[in-house]
Structure formats: C-alpha cells, structure tokens
Chain A
C-alpha cells in the first residue's frame, strides 16, 4: 500500500529544504513553489481521506511501522484514526491558506523564502505528530516542532518578538522535558523490546504502581496543558499572539495547540486511564477556570490579537472539560471542537492580520466605522466572529453544545458555569465588532482603506464555507469521531470498573 502518511510528512520537509536550497535567481517564484507544495500535499491528503474506512474509524488506518532506533524501542510508526485524520486535515487546510495570507508580507525575497520554508517545516512536524503511533516519535516531533516555531515567532513580527519567542520556547521546553522523564520511564514500565514505544504495545500493559502512574500522567498532562494553553500555564500565548505575525499565530493556535488536547486524548487517557480518572475533578476545575478567566480577560483586551488569544484559552477550556468528562458525547464534541476551533480561530487571526496589514495596528481603539468603507471585510469578520461565540448554524456551536450536553450528567456544575462563557463570548465579539466596524470613522483612518482583495477572500471564505457546512451537516465530521471517542471513553471507564 502507498505510504501516504510518510509522504505527507516528508513532502513539506523536502519542500522546506528545497526552498532553502533555491538559487537566488529563482527567489521570485518562492511563494508559488511553497503554495504548490502545500496544494500537492492537500491533494494527496484528499486521496488518502477518500480511502479512509469510516466504518472502522476507531482503528488506526494507513498504518506504517518501520524500525527506527530499535535499541531504545523507537519505531517510525504512523497511522491515523478518525480524530487524527481530522487533525491532519486541519493542518493541510490551514497551511496553504496561511501561505496565501502572507503573500505580500515580506518585501525581501530571502526573508520570504525563510518564512515559507519554516512554515513548510512546521507542517511536516504537525502532520507527523498527529499521525504518530509511537510515543518516542511523538515526543521527538513534539520537541523538534519548537525549532521552526521559535524562528517563526522570533524572526517575523512585532518589536518584542524575541522576548515572545524565548517565552514560548521556555514554556514548551519545560513541559516537554518533564514529559521526557515520563517517556523514559515508559520504556521501563512497558513491555520493552524493539517496539517498546508503540502506543499499541503500551496501552494496557504498563506495569506501574498507582503513584507512579499518577506521576507519569501529571508529567504528560503538564506538557499538554502548556500546549493547549490552560490557566495557569497559558501566559505565553497572549504574548506570542501579540508579537508574532498573525499568520504564524493562526497556525499556532488553530493547529499546533491542538497537539495539547490531541495528546490528552491519545496519550494521557489511553496510557494512564486510572490516573486520568483520579485527576479528572481537578482538571475539570482548571478547565472551568480557563473558560471563564479567558473570556473575562478577552473582554478587557485592547489588542485584537491578544483578545483572540484569550478567547482561545476559554475555548480550550471547553475542550478539556469535554475530554475529562469521559462521556462519549462530550469527548466527541471536544474532538469536533478541536477541528472547528481551528477553522474559526484560524480565520479570525488571519482576518485581524489583514486588518493590521492595512493600518499597521491591532489596537481596537484606533478603528471605527469600517463597515461603511470595507463592507465585505466587515461582513466576513462578523460571520467569523459569530462562529467564535458559537452562533447556531456555524460549526463551533454544534461542538460546544455536544461538550456541554455530554458533560452535564457528570459535571453539571462545571457545565452551568461554563455556559456563562457563551454570554461573555457575545460580549467580547460584539463589543469588538461595534468598536471597529460601526460608529464614526476616526480621522486618521484613510478613506481609501481597501476592502478584501480576491486573495484575501480566497483565504477567508473557504474557512467560512466549511464552518457553514459543518454547522448545518455536522454529521460528515462526526462520523469520523464517534468510534474513536467511544473507544477512549470505554477504555477509561472500563479500567475504572476493574479498579
């Protein structure tokens, strides 16, 4: 069988190397080449996704296993179940759009080449992480991912971007290294041998005392909680969002941070079900705090990038709540939310980026009355904004409802408190819209501010379209998630029954 996943990982990586190796005479074509590579990637993905057996979405498909470092039990093992497939889809959709969004960002071709190559490299890592079936491979990619992201944040963006890059790196590294201790320990707790790190071989076979299992769970969870920014380890995200280029942040929040919640589902719950049960109450409390705290802070933000970052903290809280409620519907909803949030937040960040490219500021107070000057922009922004506040008809609504309804039987208080965030979301989205797009036009805003160009429409509208589609027919996505989510829940709750 064609090794789809390896190719999906290798193609952008080779593409990145190709861009860096490009002679300077060919630099004018660098954007087209990068976009071309991501389009080929997308086509390949579609061919693969069409062959995916929905009836067996809980099982890993397109599995490939090759010996990599047998001495330490590491394999190059890839494979996706329904959740992994949707996550790979998310990166395959958003990367070309981010490249398109950055079309006019860099004036110097060499810098443009650098930016695009780093984006491609991070795509290779993202796809690899979502498809990894080997804990060691997952860890390696998880950490290696930091390098391109670090350069993306540190080289392109606002004045404080270096500080943001270092903050991002240190937060992630601390989480990652603590996870490393647990990864090393997994080898000794598991069956050992040349395929010791395959998740299949580790699931259910770990020989751990209760205390050890809990410690290792905490080590993994901490790394993931930093990635999927949860209060209190979320503080790197607003800094990064404010300083990095909007396109970078879009990828970071929309796709990369999903590694956190993805890891919680595929590793934390699968490997340490008993400890997950044990920790669930505390995690749900933290998740609810994230939901409310993120939303409250979002209301107070003047900077639109920081605002979107805080809304994401809030939304990630909902996902974590769904995951750790251990109900089939809530986990399904959380997984669906991971995808929908990617579409919605990705679009929001990219739109704010377009706004900044026109006027050079993300400060809400600098704007006003734009809907008269750029009506199409305003309309698109409104729809995307409404998706962030979970308006019915747009896809995030479905997932949020699934999480809240699914979790209600076991965590009713948490659900009731979290539901308040919907009201708060209306506040921060609509207030922002009101300030930026309605009212009087400030004197300094040039009346010639352009409306969305064709390129920008090509970036924003597909995401809006997808959200509408999944808002009205969520079933097409849920089909992929039902089985894997049910499996996870069964795995966790069954373990509880044994104990």
Chain B
C-alpha cells in the first residue's frame, strides 16, 4: 500500500486550529506567568478571544461557503453547514462556560491545587498562597476543540480520536472541584471508567464495521451497507456498538449511569459546560453517523433508537421525581432529554437536521443558565464566609422572595426544559416531535408527550419551592445568595436568549434549515 500524503485544506479547519492553538498557548502561559491572579486574567482573556475569533471565522465560513461545503483531509473531515451550525453552538456554549469558570463567587469553583489531599495542610497552604488551577481554561479549550472536530469528522477512526480529545480534559476537570472534593474525585473516577468503557465499546464497534465493510469512512460504509444483503450480523453488531458508544456520551438509558454522579460531583460551571456541550457534540456525531453511514440500516437500528429513547424518557423522568438534590435532579432531567433527542432520530427524516441543532441549542442554553443559578445559591460556612452550594431542594424554599430575578430566571429555564410555549424548549420539542411524526413514529411521540407531562411535575416542584413556599426561620443566615457579575451576566444572557428563541425563533430556524444538508463526500 502506497502512502499518499493527503492534501489538507487548512482554510476549512481554521476555527478548530484557532481553538486548539489557543489551548496550546494556554499551557505555555501556565509555565511562564507566575502570579495566579494575572494568570487567571490572561487565560480568561485568551480563551474568550480565541473562542470569539473562532466563532467569527465560523460565521465567515458560513457566509462564504461554496456549494455544500468543503471536504478536508482526504475525506476525513467535512466542513458543511451542518457542521458549522454545530460548531457555532459549541463555541457559544464555550464562551458562556468560560465566563462561569472565571466567576469567583465562593472563592471560585475550582480547587487551588488539584494534587493536594482534601483537608490536608498542603491544601490549606495552597489556599493561603492564593494558588488557582488556571489550567482549566486551556483544558476547556481542548475540550471545545475536540467537540468541534467531533461534529465534522466523517471517518470512524478519526471520530474516536476526536472523542478522546474532548473527553480526557473533561475527566480531569470533573475532579477539580473546590468543595466536596471527595465527591468530585469519585465522580471523576466513575466518569473516567465508564467513559473508557464506552470508548472501548465504540472502537470495538468500529473494528467490526471495518471487518464487514473494509472501510472506516462514513460515506463508504453507507454505500457498503446497501450492497451487503440481508443485514450482515457483523455489520449490524458493529453499528449497534458504535451507536451505543455515542449514546454513552449523550447520556441515554441504559448508558446513563455516569450522568448523575458526574453532574453532582463536578464543579458546577463544568457541569453546565458538560451538560450543554457534550450532549450537543455527541448528538452532532450521532447525526452524521446515523444519516450517512447507517441510513441503510435504519429499520434494523430503529428498535435500538426506540428502546433507548423510551427507556431514557421514562427512567429519567421517574427517577428525577424522587431526587432531593438539585444537581442530581437536573442530571436525571438531562437523561430524559437524551430520550427526547433520540425521538427526533426516529425514521431519520430530514426534519431532524433542523430540529436537533435547535433542540440542543435551546437545551444547552437552559442547562448553562440553570447550573449558573445553582452556583449562586450557597450555604454559609461556619466562619461566616460563603460555603458550598446549597443543593438540597429544601434549601431553595422562598428564593423567589429573596431574589426574584434569580428565581425568575431559574423558573424560565425549568419551564423551557418542560417545553412550555413561549420558551425555546417548546419550539425545540415541537421540532423534534415533528421530525418523529414525519418519520411515522406516532407512538413514540405520544410516549414522549406523556413523559413531558410527568417531567413537568418535578420542574414545577422546584418552582413551587422557590415561589410558594416560605423560607424556614433563619434561612437568611444559613443560605447566602451570591452576586457575581460574570455569573449573573451568563444567567441573564441565557434567559433572554431562551425567551427570544421561544417567541421569535424564525431567524434561527432559518439558519438551521439552511444547515439541514449533510455533505456526503466521495472519499
């Protein structure tokens, strides 16, 4: 076999290169800028500028895109409008998350020194010295870069590389919580082990698919699959494993067991980022894999989609009903939403290519906003300072009276999750359900609708707590409400975005409708 150096269309890859390059520069800054305070400012500035620049380039590419898009790197990457749409969503999430990372309420969300033992003298000394893990900014940039890659890769092996590029930084960051560090370590370990497990399943699936079709390129697999008669069991097994690997990342039942622990243990700003961006990136990849490679297996794989979607919606909503921890409740709601996302895959209709980006945009903005609110409600530490987040549901009682804007925004995010009209979540659900109905999946939509009604119950329960329940005596002393400018900015920006997307979604829907074409490259 002759090795041919591929010609690489660098221009098409500019946004990804900017983000990953900035991440590399960020690592160097860690080495050369000594003062933690300066480092934070420089890292934040670099990260936000890099993401904004990448977003600018993505927009420019969108405007100047010729034809359906560009095939780069010998058919391994496809920069089409669908990919650009997902990239811009991820970049927006990235920018919002960076602002949350930088917020310094309660001393910041991240630990001073990741390597110190919780509660040790070393930790105290690090705190006194004012240390800070500013590596989170380059790590998050790596994650964003990997996710962007994930949305445009058209080769299963390369898809695996991108998967690891964005997963590894997340594993590290989950462990870096400033408070409740043991919980954070446990979460990171679980996330890592299950993530490794899913990667193994994914790569095994890739191997089987390669065995059945002798190719790893998505388009070639799709062509191969049409030619293989009667659904070759090896191809089918491989396809199921590849899809299962991606479902792990989406957090669908029964591959969801990392979700509650990771969401609960991770530093809240990271939970916000992870909840929004990982789901979006994994959905984007699943779109490409399902629509390009496994479209001929639509009928054979539909049982998987149906079963996982129904299981996620039912289990997610039912288990969320009995949660008493807000982060875990939102985690199970994320599981339920994974089910709603999969509903749109029923029948693999073209509508899904518009519906899914919108759904994930709406869901991601809500998630970032909701977790940002969570990071603002704090317990008071014994020394009178601001302590860990108040995540027990009861601690939120009467929040509406103390801080109407905060509680109002939270209510808006919850209503959007519940899919109440005039919020972005409703339009997202409507689009997703339309796609499924177009695919003939009436029954699935009916189940989804009933699950939404049950889900509304626990979203509403939190609203009841915030607005209709009086705070217990002395709550003022026990619960502190932070007022960090950066976090508040994120909360209000996401809240306004959710309203605008809910009331006047036509513009964004138009953009995503343009994006509903997957460029199939000839390899």
Contacts and interface: CB of A to CB of B under 8 A. Distances in A.
Interface in B305-348: none
B509 A181 contact: no
B228 interface: no
B505 to A, nearest CB: 6
Interface in A149-201: 150-151, 154-155, 161-162, 165-166, 169-170, 173-174, 177-178, 180-181, 184-185, 187-188
A71 B464 contact: no
A161 B468 CA distance: 9
A169 B421 CA distance: 14
A143 interface: yes
B49 interface: no
B467 A154 contact: yes
A72 B420 contact: no
A69 B506 CA distance: 5
A140 B426 contact: yes
A147 B453 contact: no
B241 interface: no
Interface string B436-467: 01100010011001101100110011001001
Nearest to A71: B509
A144 B437 contact: no
Select the residue from A165, A170, A184 with max chain B CB neighbours within 10 A.
A184
B179 to A, nearest CB: 32
Contacts of B422: 140, 144
A177 B449 contact: yes
Contacts of A162: 464, 468-469
Interface residues of A, number: 34
A304 B450 CA distance: 35
Interface residues of B, number: 34
Given A162-B468, A180-B449, A170 B456 contact: yes
B513 interface: yes
Given A71-B506, A144-B422, A177 B450 contact: yes
B430 interface: yes
B510 interface: yes
A218 to B, nearest CB: 12
A181 B447 CA distance: 10
A408 interface: no
Contact of B420 (A67, A144, A170): A144
A144 B420 CA distance: 6
Interface string A452-488: 0000000000000000000000000000000000000
Given A165-B464, A170-B457, A147 B506 contact: no
Select the residue from A67, A71, A181 with max chain B CB neighbours within 10 A.
A71
Contacts of B509: 69, 71-72
Contacts of B431: 72
A70 interface: yes
Contact of B506 (A67, A155, A178, A188): A67
B437 A71 contact: no
A139 interface: yes
Select the residue from A161, A166, A174, A177 with max chain B CB neighbours within 10 A.
A177
Interface majority SS (helix, strand, loop, mixed), chain A = helix
A141 interface: yes
A70 B510 CA distance: 9
A134 to B, nearest CB: 13
Contact of B505 (A69, A155, A161, A180): A69
Nearest to B422: A144
B456 A184 contact: no
A44 interface: no
Contacts of A142: 421
Contacts of B504: 68
B217 to A, nearest CB: 32
B433 interface: yes
B468 A184 contact: no
B262 interface: no
B467 A155 contact: yes
Contacts of B430: 72, 180, 184
Contacts of A146: 420
Select the residue from A72, A139, A188 with max chain B CB neighbours within 10 A.
A72
Nearest to A163: B464
Select the residue from A68, A139, A165, A181 with max chain B CB neighbours within 10 A.
A181
Contacts of A185: 437, 442
Interface string B289-303: 000000000000000
Contacts of A170: 453, 456-457, 460
B433 A180 contact: yes
B426 A165 contact: no
Interface string B174-218: 000000000000000000000000000000000000000000000
Given A69-B505, A151-B467, A170-B453, A181 B460 contact: no
Nearest to A146: B420
A334 B434 CA distance: 35
B456 A173 contact: yes
Contact of A169 (B446, B456, B506): B456
Interface in A119-150: 139-144, 146-147, 150
A154 B505 contact: no
B43 interface: no
B415 interface: yes
B421 to A, nearest CB: 4
Contact of B421 (A140, A151, A187): A140
B354 interface: yes
Contact of B453 (A72, A144, A174, A187): A174
A428 B433 CA distance: 47
A187 to B, nearest CB: 7
A99 B469 CA distance: 25
A451 B361 CA distance: 58
B205 to A, nearest CB: 33
Contact of A166 (B450, B457, B506): B457
Given A180-B430, A185-B442, A70 B506 contact: yes
Interface in A70-97: 70-72
B453 A143 contact: no
Contacts of A141: 421
A146 B467 CA distance: 16
A165 B468 CA distance: 10
Contacts of B456: 169-170, 173
Interface in B47-88: none
A389 B446 CA distance: 42
Contacts of B446: 178, 181
Contact of A173 (B438, B453, B510): B453
Contact of A154 (B427, B434, B464, B506): B464
A174 B419 CA distance: 12
B458 to A, nearest CB: 11
B460 A169 contact: yes
Contacts of B452: 177
A291 to B, nearest CB: 29
B346 to A, nearest CB: 13
A178 B433 CA distance: 12
Contacts of B442: 181, 185
Given A170-B453, A173-B456, A72 B467 contact: no
A188 B421 contact: no
Nearest to A111: B401
Interface in A42-84: 67-72
Given A143-B426, A174-B453, A181-B437, 12 more contacts: A69-B509, A71-B506, A72-B427, A72-B509, A140-B421, A144-B420, A147-B420, A154-B467, A165-B464, A166-B460, A170-B453, A184-B433
Rank and list the top 8 A-B pairs by shortest CB-CB distance, nearest first. Answer: A140-B421, A71-B509, A177-B449, A143-B421, A144-B421, A144-B422, A162-B468, A174-B453
16 contacts: A69-B505, A71-B506, A72-B427, A72-B434, A72-B509, A144-B421, A151-B467, A162-B464, A170-B453, A174-B450, A174-B453, A180-B433, A180-B449, A181-B437, A181-B445, A184-B437
Interface of A: 67-72, 139-144, 146-147, 150-151, 154-155, 161-162, 165-166, 169-170, 173-174, 177-178, 180-181, 184-185, 187-188
